[in-house]
Structure 1
Amino acid sequence: MAGTGAGAYAWTGGMHIVDISALYSPDGGGIRTYTHRKLEVAQQHGVRLTVVVPGAEDDVRTVGRARLISLRSPRFPLDRNYFYFASDRIIHDVLNEQQPDFIECSSPWGSAAAVAEWPGHAPRALFMHAEPLSAWVYRYLDGLLPRHTIDRGFDWFWRYLRRLDGRYDQVISAAPSLSKRLRDGGLTKVTDNALGVDPGVFSPGNRDEALRARLLAQCSLPADATLLIGVGRHSPEKQWPMVIAGVTAASYGRPLGLIILGDGHARASVARAVGENPHIQLIAPVRDRTEFARILASADMMVHGAPAETFGIACAEARASGLPIIVPDEGAAYDQLAPGLGLAFKSLDAASLAGVIAAAIPQLPALRTTAIAAAPSARTIDAHFAQLFAGYAAVVDARRAA
């Protein structure tokens, strides 16, 4: 990378970035996948990367010159797959030890305040890997109160974010819908940097008709049925019971199957929503990325229910696989919906979802043709990291010049 990009630091041993990543879970999820790729590519950009996460045990994993440092921490009580940093002092101690050139914080909660208050001179960025009002508050209050009323009631959170905005050099947003919400909320340092898919993994060429027939057979359906796929952990914000209700309603009078790849603390409620429906099957997450890409490309459409999605990465992977997508009409999943690549339903409305699925099935040949043609243009995650590291290097350069 030329000029003042991240590559300019390669000869000095690399710009040292420390990522305080409170939302990482070793048991899966999009942030885990994101973090592992980040560790793999950092050295290519002249970056010395240290990712610090809360975990079950003290541990250090090395990936080239990058490191994943796990600090023994308490488990998060609402989801035992996650952990949390027990105090600000732990974060300050690790920053004192690492002496980074740049700090990234990957959670807007307590760790963000701890990083902001660390007295070191390194510039820092807050990466909005989660937007809690959409993920939690709206889920319970939508339909009871208008969004602007909810936001007024939680203005303390927006004041908190604005204070962080004043202490950080950048606030990274990976989706246009989230960027707009942050700017509308008064943040002034929002930097847009869309995520992307693993390069060379997802493609319409991965489609396997025999695999598709086996998945439909698992749903007790013939090979000429329509196969929907959903991807995401079993947690309330993913809205799987609503998706299941919509798919079940849409299946009356037509052969329609749904495979949901995922797991999580809300699995019991998702299983209850499925009930005795043989045409909807829950499958554990597929860790092998090549096999996952084959499954994805072998479906007919992806259905996604979460209006609080921060990135919509599963929808991006579906697009790269040549799948039309059916998404709610708000949030980052909706950001992935380009003309001709799928349809949108009214957010949180199972009846609307059912109607959209029914409308999409006759359009499938045209939708698939358009989706397959658009698949090669999908943004890659490596393009995201190139932009991210170059942006951080520019901040460091500007700080040093000043």
Structure 2
Amino acid sequence: MMGEAAGRTRRRKSGAESPWERFGWIMAAVWLVFLAYPVIALVQSNAAQGWIITGWIALCAFIIVYVAGFIHGMSFGGGGLTKPPMPIQWVAFGGMIVCAALTVPSVGGGALSFLPFIMSFASYGLTRLAHWLTSAVCIVVTVAVVFFTPAGATYLTVLAIIVLLAVVNTVSTTLIIRSDEAERLGLELATSEGREAVARDVHDLVGHSLTVVKLKAQLARKLMDSDPERAKAELADIESLTAEAIAGVRATVAGVRSAALTEQLASCRDALRSADVTMRVEGDAATLSPAQSLTASWVLREATTNVLRHSAAKTVTVRIAAGVFEVIDDGRGFSGGEGNGVRGMRERATTGGGALLVRAGVAGGTHVEVTW
């Protein structure tokens, strides 16, 4: 009844009220049909007139408190089950008990009809302890009426309903609590995975950029005396790469960075050219889907970084086909170990729905392959 209040409160504040939030209180009102029994008992009551009037007032007050408590918990985040209940809910709970007790002198055992409402309010709107205590007390009170009062047999049906309701409320609230715990765990896991994704993005981006900057700086130093103009051009490239890396890190942390494969191919070709490595592209980048292209872009970036750092290759071949992306170099070859770069590529491929294979090339070098 009130266990889902927290999730709906945020949508209410944002103005996105669902029909359930606007009209869900009607469900609470529908169940009030079961109060027909105390109504009939009041009509047929032989008690003193004062007690009958008190009974009618208490019945009306019970209905108001019950429906108001339902609306409060459902629409305004009243708490219960998955978070501590607000003080007003305890007040409403106590008010319902008082109202039910005030009808006893006029309706007698008919007051048992109030117990299912009190049980449900405690189960869904209060704490777990309140659920157990209220259910136990209601069952004990009903058993006492059934077995120790002259007309107790009349309320055997009520006893069955209360016992069944206690079981249903226990199972239902347990499922709600476990669902909420699973949702919180999922949120924590998603947050952790998000942090890892950002760390991978920053590692790949900064690692690649710094590697290229280092190579260009070394080249500019060598050319400073023999070819000053080219050295200036390399320094300009370093400035541009640095600005791009800074912007990329900021965008990555914001979670909005995306790199087109065609742009990444051009960037990697330039980086490899600076190290006197030739890159050939076989196939069309448009062959891959947008999601596959994003994964391929990151794999290409990391593979290029590894070539520049470790392979001493002279040629890099990129092959693109439907569902396949390969980066092959003719360098020293793959030793079989997996560093952060290879692990990062594997995680990227897995996240993108693909599988990564890194192996020694047929003619030497390293062969990186992603398949979807």
TM-score normalized with structure 1 length: 0.23
Higher relative contact order, chain-length normalized (CA < 8 Å, sep 6+): 1
Which is helix-richer, 1 or 2?
2
Which is strand-richer, 1 or 2?
1
TM-score normalized with structure 2 length: 0.24
Max radius of gyration: which structure? 2
